[in-house]
Amino acid sequence: MTKRVVVASGYFNPLHYGHVSYLEKARDLGTSLIVIVNNDVQAALRRSKRAQAEDMTLPARERVKLVRSLQCVDAAVEAVDLDDSVAETLQLLHPDIFANGGGRAPAQQEVQVCQKLRIQMVDGLGIQLLSLAPYTQHYDWGKPRNESIIAALTGQQSPHLTDEPDAQKPFAEMWMGDHPSGPARVVSPGSSPRHDRVVHRSTSLQDVFHKTPSVLGPALQDAKQLPFLLKVLSIHKALSIQAHPDRDLASRLHRERPDIYKDPNHKPEIAIALTDDFQALCGFREVSEIVQILEYLPEAVAIVGPDSLESLKAAIGDQQAESIALKNAYTRLMHAPEQDVAEQLKLLHARAQQPSPAAPPNIKELCELVCTLHAQYENDIGIFAALLMNYARLKVGECLYMAQNVPHAYIAGDIVECMACSDNVVRGGLTPKFKDVEVLCAMLRYEGGPPATVKPTVLDKGIKLYADPDIEEFQVMHLHLEAGGRQHRLFSSEGPAMALNLKGAGTVTISGETRDVTPGKVFMFAAGVEPEIHAKTEMDVFVACCPPQYFQTPHASPAHK
């Protein structure tokens, strides 16, 4: 067996579990581990540069003895350097690998020595927590700047702006992940997302995963990607009616049209309401209810055809026949001539403005929805498509589940959304964008029934878990902490966790290191990290991670490009 000597370094003042984890990972890189412990001169130099001195100051000889006692360490030596690097000591030891913890970037002198002596450099083995600046999307359906929770969380509201066009700029989505369409950035501790000092060894979460994949854990470090994407959405007007393809279809679409379908992954997703009366369309209604709606709204019958209505009536109670009749009706609707759609929508809108007093509540509610959508999209075929879909209105904390190949659209409100890491969308209405009608009609699940939901499980006081056996890649925890409350929790032993502090202020502590948490703060915890969250005021924190069963079977990488 070829011997590979690894060198790691640090102050270890005091020694804590985060150091032990870093050194264990360093030891795994080779056959023996030598640890360089920064000397007392360096420690004094470090203290002089810091606003606050270390809580504990141990002389170098004691720190060397402590490090040497660790089972993973073969030898520990005191640095001979007098600056803030270990370059001279590295040159004397001449190892095969120099493993940096990640608390600081390697000094230029260290880089030069490694290049000169051909020492392999591995960065970031000690990273336990990354502070992130999320990526903001400004789609036109987003709420205006000073009304959007996205702008509030990212510190971009401007109350002094009223009539200026910039005040109306839409803030639609906040992405917390590594998807190439909107990767989060790594920022230095305590800095503002708007005026931050970006950690200069990387500019995006993608870069971190490629340079220091160990933060993802052994099961994910080869893929160098997160399997999930956490978002917040702030919805002013309806999003497009859309569906997300399953893995096989996503792979084919990406291969054939990569300009439209950006990746080969599927995209199951959940939406947790942050506001009461969050509104959405999700899945097809019961066929019996669709028949009732068509009988009240003859304009819709003119689009799908009287024969489609008769087929739906005849199919009620026969699951296979319902699916066939529903597919035929929807396909007929989506292929209706534009002139017919415009003429019948004009009549439908007039009817919806003055529904019959004898109409049942669901018809009156649907008429209100037609008026809303008509004001936003006027002659769009999606207004007719909405008649066939469930109209869901959720309260805070309730959760919708959008599986693959299920049509859906968000109408209004604010949500936390989590999904498999993909941006694949097949659109079918309520949008000026490309509508891939043929693909959509062929791919959908033509199953009538109530909208799919995820009912949270209460794990402990103030902790809810949103998870479903059908969802492989992710689960979401909601932590509610009263002022003064604490939670010490391991979110995932084998993978990373993405955390958003939605409301309130407090701290997060890992291995003795404490960072302040304010509204909108986003953290990624490395695999196996157990943070302690302390609430100074009432807090709401959402945390996404892979469920335990995800690591029990191998999974293909999303293969982003």
For residue 67, report the phi and psi dihedrals to the nearest 5 degrees.
-65, -40
Q: Is 458 exposed, middle or buried (0-12, 13-18, 19+ CB in 10 A)?
A: exposed
Nearest residue to 506 via CA among 531, 538, 479, 478: 538
The count of other CB atoms within 10 Å of the CB of residue 484 is 11
3-state SS, one letter per residue, for 455-468: CCEEEECCEEEECC
Rounded Cα distance, 192 and 371, in Å: 42
The count of other CB atoms within 10 Å of the CB of residue 186 is 22
> Which run of H or E residues covers position 429?
strand 426-429
Residue 107 region, left (φ>0) first, then alpha (ψ -120 to 50), else beta? beta
Which residues are catalytically annotated?
427
Rounded Cα distance, 172 and 151, in Å: 9
Question: Quick check: 399 and 273 in contact, CB under 8 A?
Answer: yes
Question: Quick check: 530 and 235 in contact, CB under 8 A?
Answer: no
Rounded Cα distance, 498 and 329, in Å: 42
Residue with tokens 């412990």: 37
Rounded Cα distance, 386 and 242, in Å: 11
Q: What is the dihedral of CA 447, 450, 452, 458, to 10 degrees?
A: -150
The residues facing 297 across adjacent strands are: none
Q: Output helix, strand, coil percentages for the chain, rounded to the nearest 5.
A: 30, 25, 45
